[in-house]
Amino acid sequence: MKIEDVMVQDVLTVAPETSLKEVAAALAGRGISGLPVVDGSGTVVGVVSEADILRKERKPVPRRSGIMGWLAGPVDPAELAKLGARTAGEAMTSPPLTVAPGDSVARAAATMVDAGVNRLPVVDGGRLIGIVTRADLVRAFTRDDQAIAREITEDVVLRKFWTSPETVSVEVEHGEVRMGGEVGSRSVAELMAAFVERVPGVVSVDASQLSWREDDRR
């Protein structure tokens, strides 16, 4: 499953010069936690989030001279700049993390988890064409067993490994996948099972009945 299958195309955006008051009103009004910041050419230049707004609520600790100032540690110039931000462009996180429409849902999920973000702008040639959120990826995980089995057979077995679906059986029940049949080598069998695990909606994979003609792991 690709990002283009789950992304939302109707995206609310703000410009770099949009005031933080307007950004806060947009976030609260739409019940969302972040917005892409887009320049006049349609290029995504950053993302502004609730966390950036909340920085304005936190006042910087006054700096002291002497030993007390040394104990307080160095001041992060970027953090100070965000504390004084008045516009989306001054408060946003830049450069933004983005994904392409042809990227896999698994890649987007890994990026969100690793970076601790809730949304990713979808760009084509740098221009914004949509957005994907954690909620979108969770909905992808709720697909029925038939849709999961079809993607495994068509996208993984056939297209990725050039293996005839007639030689590999795929059964899915409540997201639990059982694979059988025969492939050319042990490494292909192991890789195929690993790719199946990344298909949205898959809970577990049992490939113990998937055999191979050549053990190339010896």
Q: Please give the Cα distance from 150 to 10 (Å, whole number).
A: 28
Among 3.40.50.150, 3.30.420.40, 3.30.1340.30, 3.30.360.10, name the CATH number for the domain at 145-214.
Answer: 3.30.1340.30
Query: What whole-number percentage of the chain has pLDDT above 90?
Result: 58
What CATH number belongs to 3-140? Answer: 3.10.580.10
- Taking the alpha carbons at both ends of the chain, their separation in whole angstroms is 34
Q: Which tens digit of pLDDT belongs to each residue from 43-57? A: 999 999 888 888 766
Q: Which tens digit of pLDDT belongs to each residue from 166-215? A: 999 999 999 999 999 999 999 999 999 999 998 989 999 999 999 999 99
The whole-number pLDDT of residue 70 equals 47
Label residue 68 by pLDDT band (50, 70, 90): low
Q: Which tens digit of pLDDT belongs to each residue from 4-13? A: 999 999 899 9
For the chain, residues classed under CATH 3.10.580.10 are 3-140
For the chain, residues classed under CATH 3.30.1340.30 are 145-214
Q: Which tens digit of pLDDT belongs to each residue from 119-131? A: 899 999 889 999 9
